[in-house]
A and B are shown apart, each in its own frame.
Chain A
Amino acid sequence: MSSRIPIVPENTIPLPSLKANNGLLSWVASVDHKQIGIMYLIITLVYFLLGGLEALLIRVQLAHPGNDFLTPETYNQLFTMHGTTMIFFVVMPFLIGVGVYLLPLMIGARDMAFPRLNALSFWLFFFGGILLYYSFFTQSGAPDVGWFAYAPLSEKPFSLNKGPTYWALGLLASGIGSVASGLNNVVTILTMRTPGMTMRRIPLFVWMMLVTSLLLVFVIPIITAAFAMMLLDSLLGATFFTPAHGGSAILWQHFFWGFGHPEVYILILPAFGIISEVIPVFSRKPIYGYEFVAASTVAIGLLSLGVWAHHMFAVGLGNVANAYFSLASMLIAIPTGIKVLNWVATMWGGRINFATPMLFATAFIIEFVIGGLTGVAIASVPIDWVVTDSYFIVAHFHYAIFGGSVFAIFAGVYYWFPKFTGRMLSETLGKWHFWLTVIGFNMTFFIQHFLGVMGMPRRTYTYYDMPYWGSMNLISTIGAMILGLSVIVFVWNILASLRHGKPAGDNPWNAWTLEWATTSPAAVENFELVPPVRGRRPLWDLAYPDMPDEPGAKIV
């Protein structure tokens, strides 16, 4: 019998490689941070396509008033699954995955602190997603109560189908994985830096992953506990969130947003990190005000923990509570604004190279600022009362999460793809992808601000033929189709470049963080020898020993 237990093949060449022939087992059994990172990226790409398909179906249904392309039930399932997928199975795991790949490389380590825990995190995420999507094949269908599953709608007797149960179980599993990777990141960053890589010299992406990981460790348990209570309610007849039996439906909202608002920053802080790596490299300047970018991240992280109730202005918490939360929420604009100013100041006077990563990074700043400004607007209670639950909110958070996180993700993919695979993505297809994304994205979502102000409610499967609503929705749907086209170009670019892309070499962008010191794709053991770190840009110091960033580091 023992001879039939498969031996996990030892990996000897940098992966991914089209020449490697170790089979699936070498991936499934892997505890190597690079392989796990790549698996994260592949799976999130699959979910991105699924979530995008759901979004397109939603937009087709809304293309004209009174449409019956989808039944109301299907529509509810689709917007629930779209939101859940994009937040929990695309943006968050992508950022975790890219962190898993890059953190050890950026700090000059050989792997994460806990490689097996790292694999566990990935597989929890993987199977959590499968659990969630399996609900489509059950009799009652997918969850249909929205991505925040408000009680009592998500509870008996309003939800008798099993959708919300799959939802809670799937997210519970992947949430535990997220806490584990948060802990893993923190320990890795604090203990495994190469000599000279002090905490004041770590790349900003690493710094922001540190803050994000602490947020993960603090806030995911809130929602995990809430999922457990929800499951107790639905499966064992508990009444945590049912007011009729002494529970509290508002309590669910507090739990959900107590997690959900920091979650927004879990989605955006690593994106800030990506932008803080891309912009300096393509402006050929060190980041302007490293200290301010780093410290403002801590401020955002702390502030994000205490402002969730601005999602609940319409609940009736009372004027006093609303006023305090309004004020605290507006304060977040300060550290965020500091970052934007720093990025712009980094570009100012730089020799800017508008390659695709830089195009996405620049567009990120613009789109994210729009999302941020509408965010400051709806932090004001009276404005929020007018536009809450309308398409204005839909537009706002898509500017923050698509215009923010996803644009940064695209920038990151174009920037690090050469490191991940050893080949460049095509610049021509990249530019097509970029312009289609910018046009499609703004066409889809900008007009939704107006729809929201005109009173169109979100989460309704259709709408009356009010003046201009039909044509504005049609524009939005056409935009969504263009966005869909851009994703096809993106996927085509990835598939084609994997085979025929220009070989990248170790450091195609002439960047200066340590991940570019190793081969592309990164060598099996990451580094044999790590370059000396005497400043924030080790490879720059190595290339230009006469003008190091830190004057004390000059070699005499």
Chain B
Amino acid sequence: MSVLNFLGAAWSFEPWALIFAAALLASYAALPGFRLNGRSLLFSSGVLLMVLTLVSPLDHLGRNYLFSAHMIQHILLLLVIPLMLISGIPESAADKALRLPLAGAVMRFLGNPVPAWLLGVGSMWVWHMPSLHDIVMKNESLYIAQQICFVLSGFIFWWPVFAPARRARLSPLAATLYLASACLGCSILGMLITFAGAGLYPAYANPTDSAGILSYIRNDLCITPGVDQQIGGLTMWVPGCLIYLAASMATLARWYASPEPGPAGIPAVEGPLAKADSYARD
């Protein structure tokens, strides 16, 4: 099969992906304060990107041929798409939800940076254990669960940094540390995958060539299983880390743009006043 044919034919109709997308859109439309504006456009393009990631030839490649394609999918689902979804939620809706007793409690628990960090970084580590990855590749329902888990844990991971409700956010410096440590966690896994010997994920070593593009991948693109694994590991490591980096830059930018709390606490009188052993709290 030629590449163009493959790109045309390898779209898969995944009912669960469409149902998940529809559920996301429906609950978004039901949010209080829903309006058609830039935010809702961002949210719906996030959903659209998610559907594309799950039904396009990328999915076919990732499930049958290339670990690196799987990794691109993974980064999109865990880091990019949830960020688009979260940025699309109107502030007022999140504010109201936080005030509801049950939903508020759940959100506060999940929005706590420790479980959020563990979910965000842990979902990378756990799902990439070679044995588990092998099982997931063979089991359709586990695969579905994995994809949904990526999106949800990504959503929870970004919440403490980019929550639409300001009071749910970490302070900028804490957020930078949160992101930097997540970047470190993701980098270490990327390093392991990159520098481990080839064949960490045996499913990709000898794929069943259902679409007939294997010789194109192996011979024309020169992507051997070893190279494939390296591209995968490096994709997690370098571009993955750049997303965290960009996010921490955005946090700092937001911090510097917001007004300084003001000279409250400092007596507005001239002359040296502060005792040398009282300290600032910022």
Interface residues in chain A, defined as those with a beta carbon under 8 Å from any beta carbon in chain B: 108-110, 191-201, 214, 218, 254, 291, 294-295, 298-299, 301-303, 305-306, 317-318, 320-321, 324-325, 327-328, 331, 517, 525-534, 542, 545, 550, 552-553, 555-556
Take A194-B274, A302-B183, A303-B245 as given contacts and tell me if A318 and B263 are in contact as well, using a CB distance cutoff of 8 Å: no
Closest B residue, CB atoms, query A248: B195
B241 touches A327 (CB 8 A): no
When distances are taken between beta carbons in the complex, the residues of chain A under 8 Å from B237 are 306, 324
Q: Residue B282 contacts which of A199, A214, A542 (CB distance < 8 angstroms)?
A: A199
Q: Does B13 contact A (CB under 8 A)?
A: no
When distances are taken between beta carbons in the complex, the residues of chain B under 8 Å from A545 are 270
B282 touches A108 (CB 8 A): no
Q: What sequence of 0s and 1s flags, for each residue 228-268 of chain B, a beta carbon within 8 Å of any chain A beta carbon?
A: 00110010011001101100110011011000111101111
Q: Does B273 contact A (CB under 8 A)?
A: yes
A529 touches B273 (CB 8 A): yes
Q: What sequence of 0s and 1s flags, for each residue 160-188 of chain B, a beta carbon within 8 Å of any chain A beta carbon?
A: 00000000000001001000100110010
When distances are taken between beta carbons in the complex, the residues of chain B under 8 Å from A254 are 195
A194 touches B280 (CB 8 A): yes
Interface residues in chain B, defined as those with a beta carbon under 8 Å from any beta carbon in chain A: 173, 176, 180, 183-184, 187, 194-195, 226-227, 230-231, 234, 237-238, 241-242, 244-245, 248-249, 252-253, 255-256, 260-263, 265-280, 282
CB distance from A84 to the nearest CB of B (A): 27
B273 touches A324 (CB 8 A): no
B275 touches A529 (CB 8 A): yes
A193 touches B282 (CB 8 A): yes
Closest A residue, CB atoms, query B235: A324
For the complex, what is the distance from the CA of A366 to the CA of B241, rounded to whole Å? 31
Closest B residue, CB atoms, query A290: B256
Q: Residue B280 contacts which of A195, A301, A526, A528 (CB distance < 8 angstroms)?
A: A195
For the complex, what is the distance from the CA of A324 to the CA of B72, rounded to whole Å? 15
B260 touches A318 (CB 8 A): no
For the complex, what is the distance from the CA of A108 to the CA of B277, rounded to whole Å? 9
For the complex, what is the distance from the CA of A528 to the CA of B265, rounded to whole Å? 19
Most buried by A among B173, B252, B253, B265: B252
When distances are taken between beta carbons in the complex, the residues of chain A under 8 Å from B234 are 320-321, 324
A295 touches B252 (CB 8 A): yes
Q: List 26 A-B contacts (CB under 8 A).
A: A108-B276, A109-B276, A109-B277, A110-B277, A193-B279, A194-B276, A195-B266, A195-B274, A254-B195, A294-B252, A294-B256, A295-B253, A301-B180, A302-B248, A305-B187, A320-B227, A321-B194, A321-B234, A327-B238, A529-B273, A529-B276, A530-B273, A532-B272, A532-B273, A545-B270, A555-B270
CB distance from A165 to the nearest CB of B (A): 28
CB distance from B167 to the nearest CB of A (A): 19
Additional A-B contacts beyond A214-B180, A295-B249 (12; CB < 8 A): A109-B277, A109-B279, A110-B277, A197-B280, A306-B237, A320-B227, A529-B274, A532-B267, A533-B266, A534-B266, A542-B270, A553-B263
For the complex, what is the distance from the CA of A98 to the CA of B238, rounded to whole Å? 34
CB distance from A312 to the nearest CB of B (A): 11
B180 touches A555 (CB 8 A): no
When distances are taken between beta carbons in the complex, the residues of chain A under 8 Å from B280 are 193-198, 533
B231 touches A195 (CB 8 A): no
B274 touches A299 (CB 8 A): no
Closest B residue, CB atoms, query A110: B276
B260 touches A198 (CB 8 A): yes
